Structure 1
Amino acid sequence: MKSMAWLVLLSVALGAQAGEEESTPCDNVETDQQGYACAAFNKHTAERELKAAYDELVQRIRDQYADTAGQATALIERMDAAEKLWVQLRDADCKVETFAGKPGSQAFEAAWNTCIAQRSDERSEYLQSIGQP
């Protein structure tokens, strides 16, 4: 239960990032079930934001290399390869972090979702920084 307490606190913090104005499952988390729902919400939100950050990066690359389409294509191919490797690393790291949990349990799923959300948020920030002036 102690680990669930930190998970709920972390989930609430991540939920606050998801949207200050809209109501989320992370509002007023008081039970394990609510913590689980919040972690799932955060995972889906972070993955959606990661996809948007990646799509924006691809567009920046196309814009910055508009005169040299071959370079744009080569860089996008490298980004695709890097992204696939990063997903493997993220999942491997989260398997390490959730090793002690019982797969299939809500506590495990909440910890997994929280890990995925954290890593995805970090990756989104990184992708947003690439190619910026």
Structure 2
Amino acid sequence: MRSMAWLVLMTVVSGAQAGEEESTPCDNVDTDQQSYACAAFNKQTAERELKAAYDDLIQRIRDQYADEGDQTTALIARLDAAEQLWTQLRDADCKVETYAEKPGSKAFQAAWDTCVAQRSDDRSEYLQAIGQQ
């Protein structure tokens, strides 16, 4: 049953990736090995987008509070603290989600990568929304 849910998830992810022009490891996922490569690709992509969203937010803060150095420093410190706590929560949640998989296995790594990618995508959206009124 778990394998079927995994296959459905990969199909959905593959379909989302298919709209892009460049070929990705998520194109035409038919085997477990391709699923593992797709999960790793999605994690890397999501983490790269998360870093970009974080960097963009820092720049928006610096621009918005350009004349208020103390507020800029305080807000960036709060954001850094929130980011550290979020990372701990993400990892804790992903430990729960991957509990059924054997640590060190390819299935565990794929489940972990998928969880981190999903959480990172959600966090990217959140960071992009901050200060965007």
Scaled by the length of structure 2, the TM-score of the pair is 0.93
Q: Which runs of 5+ in 2 are unaligned?
A: none
> Cα offset for 1:34?
0.3
Q: In structure 1, what is the equivalent of residue 67 of structure 2?
A: 67
Q: Which runs of 5+ in 1 are unaligned?
A: none
Give the secondary-structure state (helix, strand or coil) at the position aligned to 2:85. Answer: helix
Scaled by the length of structure 1, the TM-score of the pair is 0.93
Number of aligned pairs? Answer: 132
> Cα offset for 1:19?
6.3
Greater relative contact order, per chain length (Cα 8 Å cut-off, separation 6+):
1
Distance change (3 Å), C-alpha of 1:45 and 1:7: same
Overall identity of the aligned pairs, in %? 73
- Give the distance between the partners of 1:18 and 1:51, measured in 2 at CA: 23
Q: In structure 1, what is the equivalent of residue 124 of structure 2?
A: 124
Distance change (3 Å), C-alpha of 1:25 and 1:89: same
Q: In structure 2, what is the equivalent of residue 101 of structure 1?
A: 101
Distance change (3 Å), C-alpha of 1:26 and 1:17: closer
- Give the distance between the partners of 1:47 and 1:12, measured in 2 at CA: 21
Give the secondary-structure state (helix, strand or coil) at the position aligned to 2:2. Answer: helix
Q: Which amino acid aligns with 1:11?
A: M
Give the secondary-structure state (helix, strand or coil) at the position aligned to 1:102. Answer: coil
- Give the distance between the partners of 1:114 and 1:6, measured in 2 at CA: 13
Distance change (3 Å), C-alpha of 1:117 and 1:96: same
Name the Cα RMSD after superposition.
1.5
Distance change (3 Å), C-alpha of 1:5 and 1:37: farther
- Give the distance between the partners of 1:27 and 1:9, measured in 2 at CA: 14
> Cα offset for 1:9?
3.2
Q: Is 1:36 matched up with 2:36?
A: yes
Contact 2:25 2:38 in 1 (8 A): yes
